[in-house]
Amino acid sequence: MFIEIGEFLNLRLKQMGIQHLFGVPGDFNLSYLEQVEADPQLEFIGNCNELNAAYAADGYARINGFSALATTYGVGDLSAINGIAGAYAENVPLIHISGIPPLHAVQKGTLIHHTLVDGNYDNIMNCMKEFTVAQTRLTPANAASEIDRVLRQCFLERRPVHIQLPGDITHVKIEVSERPLDLSYPAVEPELLQSVVSKLCDIIENAQSPALLIDNEASVFGVTSLLNDLSQKCSIPFAGMNTAKILWMKAHLVTSELMWVGQANRM
């Protein structure tokens, strides 16, 4: 089917369960935000600055599963980077969409506002590479495949990704597959899985006083209930890091054997 690039990006966001987009309007993302405003299943939440928007998106992802953040190129991106780095540190799957100057200006290195006026359009991307697991600069030729690649990486690694969307291509129509975004995990090799399980069983069986120390990654990667089953069936007590408190409340886990790391010093 044929669809506008911005609309296709919105379609993929909705397939990830995203219904709200946080951010700050700017001259290079206005054409994309028009497409967001026109979508009855998406709501744009404007924030007073990009850093606040990044933190709002961080919180939304922790509750919703995934989130999206929209900024304008350069000043907007750099204003948001602290929140994006925090999301990277804590495995928060945040999709950062940066509206950038027109594609022809980027390709020619045109001196334009919101840049360092040196013709370099890679410096912001290089900054984002440090705090995201996938990055892309969209073009009409690569948009269909690159949007899916980057969003799937966000799903697999549960960390931020960075998408640069030139303001002059948001309404360009491209041909895309009608298949939904692939939100499945790769198949695990049975032999490898059996090897890991055997080693874990050996470690538990040979331990004198086994215990589990669990952090927020248990919730991030969806193994909370499995860890709870392991603890109960094998009578293994567990301790939770302070950063994991919310996952126990969300999952209603049995906490009779639970002690928060850091409690002992206050007891």
Q: Classify residue 108 as exposed, middle or buried by CB count within 10 Å of its CB (0-12, 13-18, 19+).
A: exposed
Does the pLDDT value for residue 244 go beyond 70?
no
CATH 3.40.50.1220 fits 190-266, yes or no: yes
215 band by pLDDT with thresholds 50, 70 and 90:
confident
Contacts of 67 (CB under 8 A, 6+ apart): 18, 20, 22, 57, 58, 60, 61, 92, 93, 94, 95
CA 55, CA 70: separation in Å to the nearest integer? 12
Contacts of 186 (CB under 8 A, 6+ apart): none
Q: Which residue has the tokens 């589990």?
A: 212
Instruction: State residue 262's pLDDT score.
Output: 52
Q: Which of 226, 230, 193, 192 is nearest to 211 (CA)?
A: 230
Contacts of 236 (CB under 8 A, 6+ apart): 204, 210, 211, 212, 230
Instruction: State residue 24's pLDDT score.
Output: 98
Instruction: State residue 252's pLDDT score.
Output: 45
245 band by pLDDT with thresholds 50, 70 and 90:
low
Segments making up each domain of the chain, as ranges = 2-175, 190-266
Instruction: State residue 230's pLDDT score.
Output: 85
The tens digit of pLDDT for each residue in 122-163 reads 999 999 999 999 999 999 999 999 999 999 999 999 999 999
Instruction: State residue 261's pLDDT score.
Output: 52
Across-strand partners of 44?
Answer: 21
Does the pLDDT value for residue 9 go beyond 60?
yes
- What angle separates helix 75-89 from helix 50-64, to the nearest 10 degrees? 30
DSSP the chain: -EEEHHHHHHHHHHHTT--EEEE---TTTHHHHHHHHT-TT-EEEE-SSHHHHHHHHHHHHHHHS-EEEEEETTHHHHHHHHHHHHHHHTT--EEEEEEES-HHHHHHT---TTS-SSS--SHHHHHHHTT-S-EEE--TTTHHHHHHHHHHHHHHH-S-EEEEEETTSTT-EEE--SSPP---PPPPPHHHHHHHHHHHHHHHHH-SS--EEE-THHHHTT-HHHHHHHHHHTT--EEE-GGGHHHHHHHT---TT-EETTSGGG-
CA 32, CA 20: separation in Å to the nearest integer? 14
Instruction: State residue 21's pLDDT score.
Output: 99
254 band by pLDDT with thresholds 50, 70 and 90:
very low
What superfamily does domain 2-175 belong to in CATH? Thiamin diphosphate (ThDP)-binding fold, Pyr/PP domains (3.40.50.970)
3 band by pLDDT with thresholds 50, 70 and 90:
very high
CA 53, CA 71: separation in Å to the nearest integer? 9
The tens digit of pLDDT for each residue in 27-79 reads 999 999 999 999 999 999 999 999 999 999 999 999 999 999 999 999 999 99
114 band by pLDDT with thresholds 50, 70 and 90:
confident
| CATH fold match for the domains 2-175 and 190-266 | yes
Instruction: State residue 259's pLDDT score.
Output: 53
236 band by pLDDT with thresholds 50, 70 and 90:
confident
